[in-house]
């Protein structure tokens, strides 16, 4: 991903290459961050709404690559996207299983 400069890295156990595109005001995005934290996963996130105009255009283009509707949250795990808060899919993708 060439958007590293906009991402915040969250430390944890390496469970794949995980990038979360989110909005700072989105409840589902917050739930997704909390789930990734609970799973102990290392990941990057970008709160798209907090970016300046140029950066936002660049990031939204990338989001549209993975999710043509460009809705949030959009999670990219090992080059596969999950759109929305899909708890079970996220758990399976990062090897978290069901609690």
Question: How many CB atoms sit inside 10 A of residue 45's CB?
Answer: 22
Q: What is the pLDDT of residue 3?
A: 85
Domain presence at residue 44? yes
Query: Residue 79: helix, strand or coil by DSSP?
Result: coil
Here the CATH number for the domain that contains residue 60 is 3.40.30.10
Question: In this predicted model, which residue has the larger pLDDT, 95 or 52?
Answer: 52
Domain limits at 76? Answer: 7-87
pLDDT higher than 90, residue 97:
no
Domain presence at residue 66? yes
Instruction: Give pLDDT tens digits for 33-67.
Output: 999 999 999 999 999 999 999 999 999 999 999 99
Domain presence at residue 93? no
Domain presence at residue 60? yes
Q: Is the pTM of this model over 0.85?
A: yes
Domain presence at residue 70? yes
* CB environment 60-88: b (16+ within 10 A), e (fewer): eebbeebbeebebbbbbbeeeebbbbbee
Into how many domains does the chain fold?
A: 1
Q: Write out the DSSP string of 4-59.
A: GGG-EEE-SB--S-EEEEE-TT-HHHHHHHHHHHHTTB-EEEEEGGGS-HHHHHHH
HSE-up of residue 53 (Cα within 13 Å, Cβ side): 0
């Amino acid at each position: 991903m060439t958007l590293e400069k906009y991402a915040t890295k969250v430390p944890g156990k390496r469970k794949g290459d995980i990038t979360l595109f989110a909005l700072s005001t989105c409840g589902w995005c917050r739930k997704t961050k909390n789930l990734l934290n609970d799973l102990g996963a290392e990941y990057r996130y970008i709160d798209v709404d907090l970016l300046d105009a140029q950066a936002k255009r660049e990031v939204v283009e990338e989001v549209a690559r993975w999710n043509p509707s460009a809705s949030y949250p959009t999670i990219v795990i090992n080059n596969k996207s999950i759109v929305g808060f899909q708890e079970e899919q996220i758990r399976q993708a990062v090897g978290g299983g069901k609690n």
